[in-house]
Structure 1
Amino acid sequence: MRPVRSSALLGLSLALTLTACGGEGAEGSPTSGSSYADGKTFTLAIGTDPGALDPQASPVSAALQLGRFAYDSLVTVNGEGEIEPNLATSWKVDGTKVTFEIGDGITCSDGSDFTAQTVVDNLDYVGNPKNQSPFLGVFVPAGAKASASGSTVTLKLAGPSPFVLNGLASLLLVCDAGLEDRDGLASASAGTGPYTLEEAASGDHYSYKVREDYAWGPDGAKTSETGTPAAIEVKVVTNETTAANQLTSGEINAAGIIGPDAVRLTAADIDAEKTALITGEQWYNHAESRPASDAAVRTALTQVVDLAELQKVITSGAGEPATGLAILEPRACQGDSVEGNLPETDPAAAAAALEGAGWAKGSDGTYAKDGKKLAVTFVHDTALGSGGAAAAELAVKAWQDFGIDVSAKAATTAELEPILFGSGDWDIAWEPINVGTPDQLVPFLSGPAVADGGMNFSGIENDDYTAAVETATAKTGTEGCDDWSAAEAALFEAADIVPFANNVSQTFHKGADLVVTDIIVPTSIRMLG
């Protein structure tokens, strides 16, 4: 709840392709007619509070963006999908054995050395189910065992992991002081990253100061480069129009805008970096006590709404139909697993499905079964902007007109996390998860439910998906893409999950050059004079 950034990075967006340039700025040279300037502060607006600042505790996109300012990963993935060094200077994958050589001279924000054993301690922490890190099975393969010898880290996998380096590229590593005092990470950073957290005011702002000695960033990036910000100020601005106004006036340097305000920013010739991502993704709660545990209910909820119309509204007319579940560039698997596999819009078929499952309309026009009304709780993320709010209203009206009692609630990403991964008091959720490799979605789409310590917050059980994943996982990298596509198709055909809209997220920026992949790459930011 990654892939990444300001308000452009939606809800459960898992940051998986984490870098592009090393020591250069966005274009390698200043914007035409400008020059880079030292000593300035870069101000970023994010659309929701990050919540937990422990980089191994929360998949919220805002948290992952902030985490990148203060923490590093073993390797990174550039815009072409190539693995590049960060904390590790070299690596080797040999079947189920992965080795990394940790660079010399890497220090933590407190001045202590960062060692291979520190890497092992991080992997052990995330890999221990008792710690409930959301990145177990996502960034760190379940059952993996790590060990250190000198500057070498060896990771032995429990089984095949076709995109293991991509996952580890997203795992931010904590220094020894932070491993010993997890609670302290809420107000102070303990990482090797280019900035250190100076102040944390929840719901308002987060302040970072540059580390002038930082020289081991993605592909050798350094903070000594001309134009590197002396400080980063992150402001929580929940209203996109407000963020757009502040960007225009120069109060902030960057903001992610996905709604109609993007049109006027473009017209004002404000630069933007674009990232394709899923915007519309409808989840159902499959828990036995919830209505959507009934396949007929899931199918009806899908067929009642006009997905094509929802796609247009949620993206403010700028998006496209969904094409798959892992579309962040550089996308590991191409192709379209959605087209032809979702139940088509057909209210008559939806009514027949419900009636065939024993549901019948009462005198008030609401479906009921065994004396219990068909009532659902619908939650949707405010980070989806005005388009998301309008689309939610459209969906609610369609469901209610059909005969379903709907209780709708808009909530921030931080507010949704304890609902989806805690109380379970929901039936339909709009919370997009954006990744670049399909394997990292497996814990969200299968396996143990949240109540059993897993990440499968919907409680999905789809044997065809599981079988196809098993086949895909046994293959190397993109060799398994056809099987990954088949796995996703099985979910769509059963209406287990319904992706319905892709969009282009735009990170607008003024007074600074930068690179955006899934997030703003901290070492790419260059302030303009």
Structure 2
Amino acid sequence: MSKKSRRIVGAVILGVIVGLVATACGGGSSSDGAEVKWAFSLPTSWDPVTSRTGNDINTISLAYASLTRLDAEGNVEPSLAESWKYNGDGTAVTFTLRDGLTFSDGTALDAQAVKAFFDRGKTQDDSFLRDQLAGVAEVSADSATDVTLHLTDADYQIPYLVAGRTGAIASPTAAADPQKLSVWPVGAGPFTITDFVAEDHAYFEKNPNYWDADNIHIDHFELSVAPDPATLVAGVQSGSIDFATLPALQSKEAEAAGLDVTVKPSLAANDVSINLNKAPFDNPKVVEAFRYAFDRQAFVDVITNGLGSTTSQPFPDGYLAFNPEIEKLWNYNPDKASRL
């Protein structure tokens, strides 16, 4: 039996997102009536149940709100659910929804709707939420606003789990046609979709019925597929794009063009992979030696203009799953690599 290819654990993390914002761009203002044009990417599906990547939360959250959300420090706080409470042994958590919530299609967002969403996430054939919901044995709608997740084991991370796409509740009425929902989102988020062209763009208008609408100061939101990186700077300069994610190597070009460049930590991690089926990496000692011989910092400095940071795991510092003990493993040590 041949060995499977294996990745070197977290060889490099690109810990930056370089955003471009046009100076004095009217669309980028926070005043009511603003229009924003964001060049990024479209989700793999507009249905949170069939969305295939965690990165999709950046875009599906335009149309959907989750049961909870994370604040700027990564702490969980209320969203669709105004509160939650665990039972005594941590095997059940009851979320209490805000009164009067509705989806953009007019369907009531009540406990039954939340139960229907999680049930679909656990049972729909093409669901990508099954793994995340594996620890949920059953969901019950206890009242119009109370919904309980009954767990197979104690799990106090559920409020964090439902802050992302796992808790981005979709309309059960719209879910009756999953294929349509995958291309036309129906949620209770800050915006409602008005136009969608696959692999090109999605346009949104502010949702006046969003529970936190008072804090949304954008009336029109245009999401488009990011053009070739070589044209991004020109796109922002021309006003056709208000902001976008730019490869780190182009950050100096953007600054030279007089644009505002913001560098922020990212939860995205890149790695270097090896193939264990091919010599010399079919030798475990060679694999271990390579871990010490590979200069992660030099590599990340080259590909990110020195803006990135290194890691030995798939998670950046500050993320919930980050383990500082792992960072003590496999430091750059060419002498040790030679001895191995």
Which TM-score band (shorter chain)?
0.7 to 0.9
2:73 aligned with 1:84: no
1:96 to 91, 103, 106: 91
Cα deviation per residue 1:351-393 (whole Å; 9 max; x = unaligned)?
Answer: x97xxxxxxxxxxxxxxxxxxxxxxxxxxxxxxxxxxxxxxxx
Q: Which has the higher contact order (CA 8 A, sep 6+)?
A: 2
State the AA in 1 paired with 2:58: Q
Structure 2 unaligned residues grouped into runs of 5+: 1-15, 19-23
Check if 1:74 corresponds to 2:67. yes
SS of equivalent residue, structure 1 residue 70: coil
TM-score (norm 1): 0.52
Tell me, yes or no, if structure 1 residue 315 matches structure 2 residue 308: no
* Alignment partners' CA distance in 2, 1:326 and 1:50: 22
SS at match of 1:174: coil
Partner of 2:137: 144
Aligned length: 311
Matches of residues 420-459 of structure 1 in structure 2 within 5 Å?
Answer: none
In structure 2, how many angstroms separate the alpha carbons of the residues matched to 1:348 and 1:273?
35
Which position in structure 1 is the counterpart of 2:188? 192
Using a 3 Å threshold, how does the CA distance of structure 1 residues 316 and 277 change in structure 2: closer, same or farther?
Answer: farther
Distance in 2 of aligned mates of 1:97 and 1:238: 46
Given the alignment of the two structures, is residue 228 of structure 1 paired with residue 224 of structure 2, yes or no?
Answer: no
What secondary structure is seen at the aligned counterpart in 2 of 1:144? strand
Q: Structure 1 unaligned segments of length 5 or more: list them.
A: 1-6, 10-29, 354-529
Deviation for aligned residue 1:90: 1.1
Q: How far did residue 259 of structure 1 move?
A: 1.4
Secondary structure in 1 matching 2:105: coil
- Per-residue deviation, 1:187: 2.6
DSSP 3-state at the match of 1:241: helix
Shift in CA distance, 165/327, structure 1 to aligned 2, threshold 3 Å: farther
| One-letter amino acid of the counterpart of residue 142, structure 2 | S
Instruction: Tell me by how many angstroms 1:300 deviates.
Output: 5.8
Distance 1:307 1:89 in 2: 44
Residue 38 of structure 2: aligned partner: 44
Match of 1:342 among 309, 327, 330: 330
Contact 2:92 2:154 in 1 (8 A): no
1:68 CA drift (Å):
0.3
Structure 1: distance between partners of 2:289 and 2:312: 22
SS in 2 for 1:281: coil
C-alpha contact (below 8 Å) 1:299/1:343 kept by paired residues:
no
* Secondary structure class of the residue paired with 1:261: helix
> What is the alpha-carbon root mean square deviation over aligned residues?
3.4
* 1:16-415 correspondence to structure 2 within 5 Å: 36-46=30-40, 48-60=41-53, 63-94=56-87, 95-128=90-123, 131-138=125-132, 140-150=133-143, 151-170=145-164, 171=166, 172-214=168-210, 216=211, 221-222=212-213, 224=214, 228-266=217-255, 268=258, 270=260, 272=262, 274-283=264-273, 295-296=284-285, 298-299=287-288, 302=291, 305-322=294-311, 324-327=313-316, 329=318, 331-332=319-320, 336-342=324-330, 344=332, 346=334, 349=337
In 1: Cα distance, 2:194 partner to 2:202 partner: 8
Give the Cα separation in 2 of the matches to 1:211 and 1:341: 48
Distance 1:161 1:141 in 2: 12
Change (3 A) 1:44 1:157: same
Contact 1:49–1:62, Cα closer than 8 Å, also in 2: no
Contact 1:136 1:142 in 2 (8 A): no
The structure with more helix, counted as a fraction of residues: 1
Shift in Å, 1:238: 4.0
Quote the offset at 1:344 in angstroms.
Answer: 4.8
Deviation at 1:321, TM superposition (A): 2.2
Distance 2:335 2:66 in 1: 48
State how far apart, in whole Å, the 2-side matches of 1:176 and 1:145 are: 18
Equivalent position amino acid for 2:231 in 1:
T
